[in-house]
Amino acid sequence: MKAVAVFPGKAGSIHLTEVQKPSVQDIPSGRGVLVKVLRVGVDGTDKEINAAEYGQAPPGADFLIIGHESFGQVEAVGPKVTEVKPGDYVAATVRRPGSSIYDQIGTYDMTTDDTYFERGINLRHGFLTEYYVDEPEYIVRVPEGLKHVGVLMEPTSVVEKGIVQAYEIQRRMRVWQPRRAAVLGASTLGLLATLVLRLRGLEVVVMARTRPPFLNSHLIEQIGARYVSTQDLTLTQASDQFGPFDLMLEGTGFSPLVFEAMEVLAKNGVLVLVSVTGGNRTVDVPADKINLGFVLGNKVAVGSVNANREYFELGAKDLSQAELQYPGWLSKFLTHPVKGLENYQEMMRLLTEEKNAIKVFVTVAKE
């Protein structure tokens, strides 16, 4: 079967390759689930892996099959699988457990190990291929009514984790009634974070560089949030006008914004950081002021990466609610479908050059 792979460490090495089709017997415990891949989303991570910024091949291989945002349909299950059955629509989690105590209790997204295993990213093959096999622990059912947007499950899970972490932390307040949130970044993660916060009843301001109107700002306004360009207002000005923000989520990938966010965050507020910034940028910050604000305001900042199945399950619920509350909204940011694995060059081109793309995804197969 076909697969899209890179040679890790070699920039621009993306290529189509031929690999053996897996089977449920590949997992000897009888707990194998064979999934036919239908659609796979791609994002900055895939771009960075192809630029050889990170990513490692599985042991014994010289290539890595990429793709970590999967959506598919169960084709066959081993004799000891009860959780899913052929025909079910599913998404797979990305990280696989290492050895820390967090890995052992299913919270592999919280691993303290130095080495982490992520399908399509590090040491494990991904989903830009025709079939994959995994254990049911890592496979999450997607309601049939969500199959047109099932490819959003993985990015949604990342957002759910960040927001759940914020609420968990805020239990320290005994009574926390967040009213205003700011989301920094208006692409897939920013849009999904805005959605999840709107579903929780918060007033949301979304900030990104581009001046409105454009598709992303329309989408934000359609679910009752406010879009502000950072070219029109600084974060500090936006906070004066629309804040203070009890919850902030930074997902722009521009790390200097983190420090401005720390400054404007409301007293008792929580700032969630989800951008994976691989660069070496440095910046001068008003350290005393930020520190003082944090101390006197009892503020918290938390980093959040990846997501375990709990957050995929929560994601499926919120995506379902979104389809009821804002029918058709999710589909509108599935902007750039790519037909077939063989069009991987077009996929890369859209990912790197198409400024108007929100979600680029590959339609690998029809049901």
Which residue ranges make up the site for Zn ion (CB under 5 A)? 43, 45
CB of 174 to ligand BGC, least distance (A): 32
CB of 117 to ligand BGC, least distance (A): 10
Q: Does residue 306 touch ligand BGC according to CB under 6 A?
A: yes
Q: How many residues bind ligand BGC (CB under 6 A)?
A: 11
Nearer to ligand BGC, 103 or 154 (CB): 154
Nearer to ligand BGC, 88 or 154 (CB): 154
Q: Residue 262 has which token pair?
A: 């720390």
Site for ligand BGC, residues 161 to 190, rule: CB under 6 A: none
Q: Does residue 238 touch ligand BGC according to CB under 6 A?
A: no
Q: Is the peptide bond prior to 213 cis by the omega test (within 30 degrees of 0)?
A: yes
Nearer to ligand BGC, 164 or 276 (CB): 276
For the chain, report the end-to-end CA distance as a whole number of angstroms.
Answer: 17
Closest CA to 16 of 151, 130, 132: 130
Q: Residue 350 has which token pair?
A: 């859209």
306 binds, among ligand BGC, Zn ion, none (CB under 5 to 8 A by kind): ligand BGC
CB 92 within 8 Å of CB 73: no
CB of 44 to ligand BGC, least distance (A): 7
CB 169 within 8 Å of CB 319: no
Q: Does residue 250 touch ligand BGC according to CB under 6 A?
A: no
Closest CA to 70 of 138, 21, 5, 13: 138
Nearer to ligand BGC, 180 or 309 (CB): 309
Q: Does residue 111 touch ligand BGC according to CB under 6 A?
A: no
Alpha-carbon distance of 181 to 272, in angstroms, equals 11
Cα 256 to chain center, whole Å?
A: 21
Alpha-carbon distance of 256 to 270, in angstroms, equals 17
Of positions 27, 66, 94, 197, contacts ligand BGC by CB under 6 A? 94
Residue 265's CB: how many other CB atoms inside 10 A? 26
Of positions 158, 182, 265, 350, contacts ligand BGC by CB under 6 A? 158
Of positions 276, 300, 302, 357, contacts ligand BGC by CB under 6 A? 276
Q: Does residue 88 touch ligand BGC according to CB under 6 A?
A: no
Nearer to Zn ion, 46 or 130 (CB): 46
Closest CA to 16 of 349, 347, 356, 358: 347
Beta bridge partners of 229: 208
Alpha-carbon distance of 303 to 249, in angstroms, equals 10
Site for ligand BGC, residues 44 to 73, rule: CB under 6 A: 45, 68
Nearer to Zn ion, 42 or 77 (CB): 42
Distances from the Cα of 194 to the Cαs of 30, 97, 176, 213, 221, in angstroms? 41, 30, 19, 17, 10
Give the CA angle between residues 120, 123, 129 to the nearest 5°: 35
| Amino acid occupying residue 238 | A
33 binds, among ligand BGC, Zn ion, none (CB under 5 to 8 A by kind): none
Q: Does residue 43 touch ligand BGC according to CB under 6 A?
A: yes
Nearer to Zn ion, 47 or 226 (CB): 47
CB of 155 to ligand BGC, least distance (A): 6
> What contacts 16, CB < 8 A, 6 or more positions away?
2, 3, 4, 5, 341, 342, 344
Q: Does residue 305 touch ligand BGC according to CB under 6 A?
A: yes
CB of 329 to ligand BGC, least distance (A): 21
Distances from the Cα of 47 to the Cαs of 6, 11, 345, in angstroms? 11, 10, 12
Nearer to ligand BGC, 246 or 318 (CB): 318
Q: Does residue 103 touch ligand BGC according to CB under 6 A?
A: no
Q: Where on the chain is the footprint of ligand BGC (CB under 6 A)? A: 43, 45, 68, 94, 118, 121, 154, 158, 276, 305-306
